[in-house]
Amino acid sequence: MTDKLVIVGGVAGGATAAARARRLNERAQIVLFERGRYISFANCGLPYYIGEIIKKRDDLLVTTAESFTRRYRIDVRETTEVLAIDRETKSVRVKNNETGEEYTESYDKLILSPGAEPIRPPLPGIDAPNVFCLRNIPDTDRIKAWVDDKKPQSAVVIGGGFIGLEMAENLVLRGVKTTIVEKLDQVMAPVDYEMAALIHAHLTEKGVDLIFGDAVKAFIPSGDRLTIRTENERNLECDLAIMSVGVRPETRLAREAGLDLGKTGGIAVDASMRTSDPDIYAVGDAVEVNEFVTGMKTLIPLAGPANKQGRIAADNVMGRSSVFRGTIGTSIVRVFDLAVATTGLSEKLMRKHDIPHVVSYTHSGSHAGYYPGSETLAIKLMFSPGTGKILGAQIVGKDGADKRIDVLATAIRGEMTVFDLEELELAYAPPYGSAKDPVNIAGFVGANLLKNDVENLNWDQLEARDPEREILLDLRTDIEFKTSGSIDGALHIPIDSLRDRLDELDRDKTYIAFCAVGLRGYLGYRILTQNGYKAKNLGGGFRTFLGATENLTL
């Protein structure tokens, strides 16, 4: 059992490791170095404090150095930066950033939790006082002070990831007209395009301007104003800018100490969180870990995995045997009235790596439709074509996305299949769910595909169809067809009239049946095929098609 443990960095990974180590070893000397003033704070709450949803700044502090020391008897040294690691002498060189004092601290075991740093490219004008990044509490204080004091009318958020979306929402809530500039063709890179398109429609509805396929080239300050010049030669005038183009693992200490780095650029660790030096462990945003489903190496800068890794590293340092089995990247973000959630593999990642998969789309009510307030949940499920093992899921909706993504994340960890989803017994009462929960329905649809009870054609395959031989068949009601429009060229026969009008169809052609969300399309497919007609079903129906083409209002 270790006599002296030194931890570099606090927050999710380091502070968790320190607390766990103390619970396992009351006598060990534990020293925690944190270069900032806050050893543990709520990173994910920072945008909401700027937006004044979180009213009190102190609510962002998970714990203080004083309370942490009092409870755990840990030697916490804030505003103290670790400059270098000497593996031969098993010591670190540190500097007190307030006094300038430098000294050496020995260790028996060392845990690195340096985190990740915001990517801040060396663009002209990026050091202007109204160009901000958001990573910690001092960043938050600077942004909030600017918004409070300057009362800006306009802002540009560069990057449409988690922080970018949360900052856009909270700036709008503060009355700031906001534009998002994103180099990709979508926000929220972890989700697939058609799911992100639902977010685009909602952001536009909330007054956020979206610019895709472009990046910032320069910031041109003029007093308290900025002109942002993009690579496509746009000139965007604004009062402040938020840089949110991603993060990179902070690996300088590990690299200079000669520790191995992985393919992704993160610190290489084994399942025990041990680095290439048997006396040094690493956790959190700076480490490269295995993706649970495929075993591929990845970087996952999320608080949940960092907490678990901190606990596992502490276990192993203190003589226990614990392993980290990998991550599935489960995450959720609020975008105004929507929740966007994802877990496991995305379809674009599976296509990139040629991983066989089947996709299903469902649109289910968040709770019983007859109880007031039910909202539609758009669910995309990815699973193996043979076994039906669940590989990934994405959900966009106004209510209940968190509950369902957690069920699906648990199913992935348990290596469950769509057939298992059919049988899950989930809590039901009208205000909370339905007798057939959206997760069950996703399982039913997936199982139907694997049993060959239906053949789907998805929205992105429509363009490649032969319109002379593959005919779109709209099975919605007359009112839906007239008020909502349809897909160009679609034949319209309401589902309840289909059996009586089969003689209007051509047995030499294939009919792509669709309705609003998929159920009537599936029923139409069954009617057609059992009566000798060739058919396919449009996966997810007209709603998925509209969302993917950004014509859906939520």
Active-site amino acid positions: 44
Tokens of 410: 């648990």
Give, rounded to a whole angstrom, the gap between the first and last alpha carbons of the chain. 57
Tokens of 234: 């746009």
Cα dihedral value 14, 18, 19, 23, nearest 10: 150
For residues 63 and 10, the answer to whether their CB atoms sit within 8 Å is no
| DSSP string across 193-223 | HHHHHHHHHHHHHTT-EEEES--EEEEEEET
Please list, in sequence order, all residues whose beta carbon lies within 8 angstroms of the beta carbon of residue 222, skipping any fewer than 6 positions away: none
Residue type, 412: I
Residue type, 241: A
For residues 340 and 332, the answer to whether their CB atoms sit within 8 Å is yes
Neighbours of 217 (CB within 10 A): 15
Q: How many residues does the chain have?
A: 554
What are the two backbone dihedrals, phi and then psi, of residue 538, each rounded to the nearest 5 degrees? -75, 110
Work out the angle between the directed axes of helices 11-24 and 303-317 (0-180°, nearest 10).
Answer: 30
The sign of the dihedral angle between the CA atoms of 147, 214, 398, 207 is positive
Q: Compute the distance between CA of residue 305 and CA of residue 303 in angstroms, rounded to an integer.
A: 6
The DSSP H or E segment spanning 522 is: helix 519-530
